[in-house]
Amino acid sequence: MAITYNRDKRSGKTYAYETTYIWDKEKRQSRSKRTLIGRLDEATGEIVPTDGRGRKRSPNYLPEEDAMPAAVPELQAEVLRLRRENHTLREQIKKLKSKQG
């Protein structure tokens, strides 16, 4: 991964992108995938995060990756409950099939 900069000719602003390079086996060429990080502040040289629509992120912004760990135990409990329910239903189906045939 690398950080690349691209200057917009119309607005004169410079944007920072995270670039990932991937090898395309079929075409035998390197391909790049870019993800917008933010706008480059000309005065300080820092990257100001944007949401891709020309807006600054709010101070309350929390990426999904950061919000996820709090929900993981609840989701694991739900998955366990659904697996138990699935097992119970499969057992009931087996009993019903054995009664029919």
Give domain status of residue 57, yes or no.
no
Encode the chain (101 residues) as per-residue pLDDT tens digits. 789 999 999 989 999 999 999 999 999 999 999 988 888 988 898 988 887 665 666 666 555 555 556 667 888 889 889 999 999 999 999 999 998 86
In which domain, by residue range, is 22 found? 1-52
Residue 45 and residue 85 share a domain: no
Given a contact cutoff of 8 angstroms between Cβ atoms, the answer to whether 3 and 38 are in contact is no
| Domain total in the chain | 2
Q: What backbone torsions phi and psi does residue 77 show, to the nearest 5 degrees?
A: -65, -40
If you ran DSSP here, which 8-state letter would residue 54 be given? S
Give domain status of residue 58, yes or no.
no
Residue 43 and residue 83 share a domain: no
Residue 4 and residue 44 share a domain: yes
Q: What is the pTM of this model?
A: 0.48
- pLDDT given for residue 70 in this prediction: 67
- pLDDT given for residue 64 in this prediction: 57
